[in-house]
Amino acid sequence: MSDEELINDPLALLREFTAARIAIGRVGNSIPLKQSMEFKLAHAHARDAVYSVLDIEGLTQKFHPFRLPVLHLHSQATSRQKFLKRPDLGRKLSEESKEQFTEPITSFGVAIIIADGLSATAVNENAPGLLKLLIPMLDAAKISVAPLCLVEQARVAIGDDIGHGLNAKLSVLLIGERPGLSSADSMGAYLTYDPKPGLTDESRNCISNIRKGGLNYKQAAGKIFYLINEAFKRKISGVNLKDNAGLLS
């Protein structure tokens, strides 16, 4: 059918408020060709994001101005295929990586971990911009920051091993989220007070959709900094720690 037979959706005016695929109209009983092609393209971008690779060299260079050591770590998932089929391996640090924590180390306030997760593209694009705002906030508050950790084939829980290994009071894990059809570049931040192996998701606070088209870096850094301070003050994180910033007392 031709575009001349396109039947517009009466709710099409709502599309200007969201990148979600809504009110796309129809041609007969089918999706219009243009929207069908756009869907396939978005799906291809999402698949590409899942198989994207953490830019170790590029990120290390971008982190240089922070004047912090950078550790290169790896999970027990030895390949992308293992990572996708064995989520449990992505949650554990490899034995070679654990050896980097065997030396006696000073305790730190915050450990910042950058992990590829399900979209290395997300952290490649968004982690430097966020840390450029967050690390100066921590420095100004005299909160010590552990060596930055870049972790390949990693899932969220790996932050527990790393935070514990670095003897940090709190871990902040930046990770690529599961790619959506309009957000293959979305990064999440997970905060855990007193990180240690064996914790579950209820122990973490999550800030999601950090990207240029979502929660911007300034807002995300401010929210992370707020939660860090509240976690230190109350000595808790996760479901017991609420984001009350901006609420009337």
* pLDDT tens digits for range 106-160: 799 999 999 999 999 999 999 999 999 999 999 999 999 999 999 999 999 999 9
- Residues ≥6 apart with Cβ < 8 Å to 160: 171, 192, 195, 196, 197, 198, 199
Task: Identify the pLDDT of residue 248.
Answer: 54
Domains by residue range for the chain, with CATH:
55-234 (3.40.50.11240)
The letter for the amino acid at 52 is S
Judged against a pLDDT cut of 60, whether residue 1 lies above it is answered with no
Task: Identify the pLDDT of residue 104.
Answer: 59
Task: Identify the pLDDT of residue 4.
Answer: 60
Query: CA separation (Å) from 52 to 44, 83, 132, 142, 203?
Result: 12, 13, 23, 36, 29
Judged against a pLDDT cut of 90, whether residue 12 lies above it is answered with no
Residues 185-196 have a mean pLDDT of 96
Task: Identify the pLDDT of residue 106.
Answer: 77
Judged against a pLDDT cut of 60, whether residue 195 lies above it is answered with yes
224/215 Cα distance (integer angstroms): 12
Residues 222-234 have a mean pLDDT of 96
Give the gyration radius of the chain's Cα atoms.
20
27/194 Cα distance (integer angstroms): 56
Note the pLDDT tens digit of each residue in 160-173: 999 999 999 999 99
Task: Identify the pLDDT of residue 16.
Answer: 84
> How would residue 247 be classed by pLDDT, with cut points 50, 70 and 90?
low
Note the pLDDT tens digit of each residue in 69-89: 999 999 999 999 999 999 999
Q: What are phi and psi of 12, to 5 degrees?
A: -55, -30
Task: Identify the pLDDT of residue 151.
Answer: 97
- Residues ≥6 apart with Cβ < 8 Å to 23: 9, 10, 11, 12, 14, 15
Task: Identify the pLDDT of residue 219.
Answer: 95
Question: Which residues are documented as binding site for adenosylcob(III)alamin?
Answer: 156, 177, 206
Task: Identify the pLDDT of residue 246.
Answer: 66
87/77 Cα distance (integer angstroms): 8
> How would residue 184 be classed by pLDDT, with cut points 50, 70 and 90?
confident
Question: Which residues are documented as binding site?
Answer: 156, 177, 206
